[in-house]
Amino acid sequence: MPYKEILFASEGPVGFLTLNNPEKINALSKKMIGEMIDALTKVSEDESIKVVIIKTAGKHFCAGHNLDEMIDQGTKEYKFIFDQCTKMMQLIHEIPQPVIAQVQGIATAAGCQLAAWCDLVIAGEDAKFATPGVKIGLFCTTPMVAVTRAIGRKAAMEMLLTGRYYSAQEAKELGLINRVVPVDDLASETGKLAGQIAEASGFALQVGKQGFYAQVDQADCNALHFAKNTIAMNCTAEDAQNGMKAFLKKEIPEWKDR
């Protein structure tokens, strides 16, 4: 489908999904969410892409949902918006490729959720994060899910109740993001991280990402049982056998397609 509010391109093993409506601060409109669902679904089936970077056009990452679409609507319309947004967020975790958010400027409400829900986040020094819905009578309930899982209960509760902006450095200290880099280096540093990840076996990345989310909220005993069965299965894979043999021979392993 032709996209109007996003762009998608790939360079080697890295895919770039760009939110492309800077006039609206890249707000998540119904159209944009639908296009992201389509792009992520296609990416999941593309074995040539090992890593995805979500970035945005303009000075800011994402201001959350497009409030122009949320005035004087009924429950059915609101439910559709949040059903679609939830589907899009779930795809970020479900696709086999690790997803990196490249954040500049503000990431607020569902924009903060989008960043927090990505597997990794690199932010420029100018980035600011907030869940400010409480200030307009619309508590950031869906962003709450991603933020709470990223930074824990007490820090998340303060962020949600105050609605204040957190600097990139504060966000890093809380664990909301992975790295803070100079704004001029944001694209290159994100690309560098993506390149490092893409050196790995696509099959191993898929097993690792899916396994991470499957075990992360389980009790210790259940998580260990899940992990031992998963790694036993992983050992039988062609990439794992090639990788172990190459390591023992001090050679560079060759990977098959995912």
∠ CA(6), CA(8), CA(14), 5° rounding?
Answer: 140
9 strand-pairing partners:
16
pLDDT tens for the chain, residues 1 to 258: 689 999 999 999 999 999 999 999 999 999 999 999 999 999 999 999 999 999 999 999 999 999 999 899 899 999 999 999 999 999 999 999 999 999 999 999 999 999 999 999 999 999 999 999 999 999 999 999 999 999 999 999 999 999 999 999 999 999 999 999 999 999 999 999 999 999 999 999 999 999 999 898 888 888 888 888 888 888 888 988 888 898 889 999 988 865
Q: How many CA atoms lie within 13 A of 137 on its CB side?
A: 1
Q: What is the DSSP secondary structure assignment for residue 129, as one 8-state letter?
A: E
91, 206, 207 from 258: Cα distances, Å = 18, 8, 10
Cβ proximity of 222 and 214 under 8 Å: no
Q: Residue 87's CB: how many other CB atoms inside 10 A?
A: 16
d(CA 251, CA 227): 28
Predicted local confidence at residue 173, as pLDDT? 97
Predicted local confidence at residue 131, as pLDDT? 97
